Structure 1
């Protein structure tokens, strides 16, 4: 067994580490390379397991003690515990089972393990669960992201409502302007018609006045002629009377 500071985090890294360690495969073709914490949670060890890579139950993490595999219940982990049966050679899929606090000798995702410990790779291996990503940080990060998304969503909704109201107002203003134009056009047409009627009335009135004046002139002329003839008759009568 060889002590390491970090375990493979994916299949590619596992194959590379297995090649360096010259691990083989079991009779079913499963890679026999493993990287697990010791039972005391003080170090990580990589080794080639000499045996069948069997199935493990959900809620279990693997460890190594005296060359033998050990099982640790992880159902109380905050997250990262296997939630279905899994194969031993797929340990890299569950980095929470290799994330240990070597000072306090506990799994970092175990709620009873102190979460405020800060160390380096030589004393505190994180293996896919960064030290800064303790449960509180994860929770606050998720809450922060949700708040940001909520604010963004509210902003978009407010903007869409404002845009809709603005479009409605513009449309209403356009309709009012159109109505005003049509009303002004109707008033202008009505004014022209009214002016035409007034002009016709003035022409009629002027014609009537001219007729009245001409009629008065004829009447005055006829009256003057009658008066002249009457005077002549009176003079003739007067002359005849004097002659007698």
Structure 2
């Protein structure tokens, strides 16, 4: 078991760390590499766990205490706490559980943990890079609504302009000014005018 400044954040990083440390798999083929904070929150440690990689309940982080795995409730975290049951080797999916304040010996996403030391004596898991799914979905939803609104406005304006053009053609026809200077924007062919009118369900006289 050795101290480390970083824990894997992806499956690729996990595999690389596993090879570097020489960890194997349990009898079910699960990776036995672990990278967790110690129970005192004074450092991150990486090691090869020699037991079975079992399941953990949602709402809990893993810690290491005297070589054994222990759990710590994270339900009061601002975000990043596991929200479904998870396996030990999936620790890398929950970086909030490795983001610790070494000076104050606490989890950085715990509201009671101090955040006024400008990153000094903290583990190298940046809180700004821990993505909150609620925030992501909220932003995505807002973007989708904005795009739909823009499309509706553009379609409405296009329809309004087309109706105005049809009305202009009809007005010019009624006044027999189709080819006069009073209707400079519709001095096109009879076939083109017929197409515009038919698109609006209007028969040309």
What TM-score does the superposition give when structure 1 sets the normalisation length? Answer: 0.62
Aligned to 1:214: none
Structure 2: give runs of 5+ residues left out of the alignment: 178-205
Indicate whether 1:28 and 2:23 are aligned. no
Is the CA contact 1:118–1:131 (under 8 Å) kept in the aligned structure 2?
A: no
Pair 30,70 (structure 1): closer, same or farther in 2 beyond 3 Å: same
- Higher percent of residues as helix: 1
Aligned to 1:171: 166
Structure 1: give runs of 5+ residues left out of the alignment: 183-244
1:181 aligned to 170, 176, 179, which one?
176
Aligned to 2:58: 58
Aligned pairs (5 A) from 1:93-112: 93-112=93-112
Name the larger-Rg structure: 1
Is the CA contact 2:62–2:97 (under 8 Å) kept in the aligned structure 1?
A: yes
Q: CA RMSD in A?
A: 3.0
Question: Which secondary structure state, in structure 2, belongs to the residue aligned with residue 23 of structure 1?
Answer: coil
Indicate whether 1:47 and 2:47 are aligned. yes
Pair 16,117 (structure 1): closer, same or farther in 2 beyond 3 Å: same
Aligned to 2:123: 125
Structure 2 CA distance for aligned equivalents of residues 144 and 90 of structure 1: 26
- Tell me the CA shift for residue 176 of structure 1: 0.5
Question: Which secondary structure state, in structure 2, belongs to the residue aligned with residue 25 of structure 1?
Answer: coil
Question: Which secondary structure state, in structure 2, belongs to the residue aligned with residue 170 of structure 1?
Answer: helix
What TM-score does the superposition give when structure 2 sets the normalisation length? Answer: 0.72
- Tell me the CA shift for residue 98 of structure 1: 0.8
Equivalent residue pairs, number: 176
Structure 1 CA distance for aligned equivalents of residues 103 and 24 of structure 2: 34
Q: Which whole-Å deviations, capped at 9, do the CAs of 1:123-160 have from their partners, x for residues lacking one?
A: 32243xx3335899x96x98777767666655544443
Structure 2 CA distance for aligned equivalents of residues 51 and 11 of structure 1: 20
- Tell me the CA shift for residue 63 of structure 1: 0.5
